[in-house]
Amino acid sequence: MKKINTILIPLFIVYFIADIITQSLFLKSYSAVISYNVGSNNSKVKQIESKLKQLGFFKGNPDNYYGTDTREAVKKFQRSRGLKIDGITGNATLKALGLSDNQGNNNSSSSKSSQKTAQSADINLLSRAINGEARGEPYVGQVAVGAVIVNRTRDPRFPRTIAGVVYQPGAFTAVSDGQINAKLEDSSLKAARDAVNGWDPTSGCVFYYNPAKTTNKWIWSRPVIKIIGKHHFCK
**Which architecture, in CATH terms, is 124-234?**
Orthogonal Bundle (1.10)
Point out which residues pair with 220 in neighbouring strands: none
- The structural domains of the chain, with segments of one domain joined by +, span 34-100, 124-234
Topology alike, domains 34-100 and 124-234 = no
pLDDT at 82: 77
pLDDT in tens, the chain (235 residues): 545 455 545 544 544 454 555 454 444 443 455 789 888 888 899 899 988 988 889 888 888 888 889 999 999 988 888 788 999 998 889 988 888 765 444 445 545 555 555 567 889 999 999 999 999 999 999 999 999 999 999 999 999 999 999 999 999 999 999 999 999 999 999 999 999 999 999 999 999 999 998 888 889 999 999 999 999 999 9
Query: Which pLDDT tens digit goes with each residue over 82-115?
Result: 788 999 998 889 988 888 765 444 445 545 555 5
**Which architecture, in CATH terms, is 34-100?**
Orthogonal Bundle (1.10)
CB 191 within 8 A of CB 135: no
| This prediction's pTM | 0.54
Query: Which pLDDT tens digit goes with each residue over 170-199?
Result: 999 999 999 999 999 999 999 999 999 999
In whole angstroms, what is the distance from residue 149 CA to residue 43 CA?
33
